[in-house]
Amino acid sequence: MTERDIDVLGIGNAIVDVLAESDDDFLTTHNLVKGSMTIINHTEAENIYNLIKPGIRASGGSAANTLASLASLDIRCGFIGKVSDDELGNFFTEDIKSAGVIFDPKFDSKSAPTARCLISVTPDAERTMQTFLGACVDLSPNDINEKFISQAKILYLEGYLFDPPEAQNAFKKAAKISKQNDGRVALSLSDSFCVGRHREAFLDFIREYVSILFANEDEIKSLYQVDEFESAAKKALIDCEIAVLTRGSKGSVVIAEGEYHKLKPETVQNVIDTTGAGDAYAAGFLFGLIQGKPLDACGHLGGVIAGEIISNYGARSKKDLNAIVQESEIF
């Protein structure tokens, strides 16, 4: 590879997503709160896996989902994440490679089993997740490949991975390398509870390294500890170059110096599964940005790709995303 051979390099949790159709009775029986995400241990993961009827299995994790969508749009992508040398780790590796993403994992014989997220999807399209984090949270600065990162135009970081201290150190090392090589650092906050646990660390990291910040309404309000969305949005613009803020049924807002774009939500005829909606929005936005499009067009495209994803079962599109981009007439 030569310099800048990678458009987007993502770092995040390497998780195998296991999706299963479910119902409210199953959730009630197993004391699961609809729409929640619960951390479970390996034994619990094995027990639940044996109870459900898996419908789709795919390489997942927030950043990995974003990269898979970008790769399907012919964007050159790479991934750094931690898997174990086990059946699910090998599945993750082959699956994300088959999606067109460069991934060369470092196996550690002492690491925990590969992470998996068991996703129960009820008829109302709501997803309830139980996650065994396993090997992915063992990511450390030793896993950061300086040459790999220096080749990327954009370094995309997944906020879910901000919990473990060593992973935070890995993020800092990667972001510093990217900035030193004139790359742009993008961060997705990912989870309002994670933001609450590490608010000051997130703010310090954003102010020092981040050019592009992705967040939903709850996450950005949690970050700045305010009740009003507009107040949080103004604060975000002080700390980064571009803030990309999704608001569910209210659409999204994209702001930069001298720009404020309020975008309506895309019309989706049939919402099947909301898994990966935010990841898909980030993919659409980054695709537009790489193509040099205006920020409002980038946000519009993010909404189009997210709308396509939630009309499917799982976090990957069943249709040709390039064709969907052309049909949108954004470009």
Name which of 168, 172, 152, 169 is nearest 160 in CA terms: 168
Residue 154 forms part of a structural domain: yes
Are 80 and 144 a contacting pair, CB within 8 Å?
yes
Measured between alpha carbons, how far is 59 from 257 in angstroms, rounded to an integer? 37
What pLDDT sits at residue 311? 67
Phi and psi at 12, nearest 5°, equal -170, -175
Residue 120 resides in a domain? no
Helices in the chain by DSSP H: which ranges?
24-29, 42-51, 62-72, 87-98, 146-150, 165-180, 192-197, 199-209, 217-224, 229-239, 277-290, 295-309, 321-328
* Nearest of 60, 61, 74, 297 to residue 188 by alpha carbon: 61
The whole-model pTM stands at 0.90
Residue 163 included in any domain: yes
Predicted pLDDT at 67? 96
Question: How high is the pLDDT of residue 113?
Answer: 92
Q: Which domain holds residue 315?
A: 6-13+61-104+138-328
Cβ atoms of residues 300 and 328 within 8 Å? yes
In a domain, 305, yes or no: yes
Which residues is 38 bridged to in the sheet?
130
Instruction: Count up the domains in the chain and report the number.
Output: 1
What is the DSSP code (8-state) at residue 151?
A: T
Three-state secondary structure call for residue 197: helix
pLDDT per residue, tens digit, the chain (331 aa), is: 445 689 999 999 999 988 888 899 989 988 888 888 788 999 998 888 888 776 778 888 899 999 999 999 999 999 999 999 998 999 999 999 999 999 999 887 677 899 998 888 888 878 788 999 999 989 999 999 999 999 999 999 999 898 889 999 999 999 999 999 999 999 999 888 889 999 999 999 999 999 999 999 999 999 999 999 999 999 999 999 999 999 988 999 999 998 999 998 877 767 765 667 889 999 999 999 999 999 999 999 998 888 787 667 656 766 777 778 787 777 6
Residue 214 covered by a domain = yes
- Does residue 217 lie in a domain region? yes
Q: Where are the alpha helices (DSSP H) in 99-225?
A: 146-150, 165-180, 192-197, 199-209, 217-224
Confidence (pLDDT) at 19: 85
Would you say residue 301 lies in a domain? Answer: yes
Amino acid at 161: L
Q: What are phi and psi of 317, to 5 degrees?
A: -75, 140
pLDDT at 276: 73
DSSP for 262-304, written as a single string: EEPPPP-S-----TTHHHHHHHHHHHHHHTT--HHHHHHHHHH
Residue 316 sits in a domain whose CATH number is: 3.40.1190.20
Give the C-alpha separation, 323 to 27, whole Å: 38
Neighbours of 103 (CB within 10 A): 22
Tell me the residue length of the chain: 331
Kindly state whether residue 43 falls inside one of the protein's structural domains. no
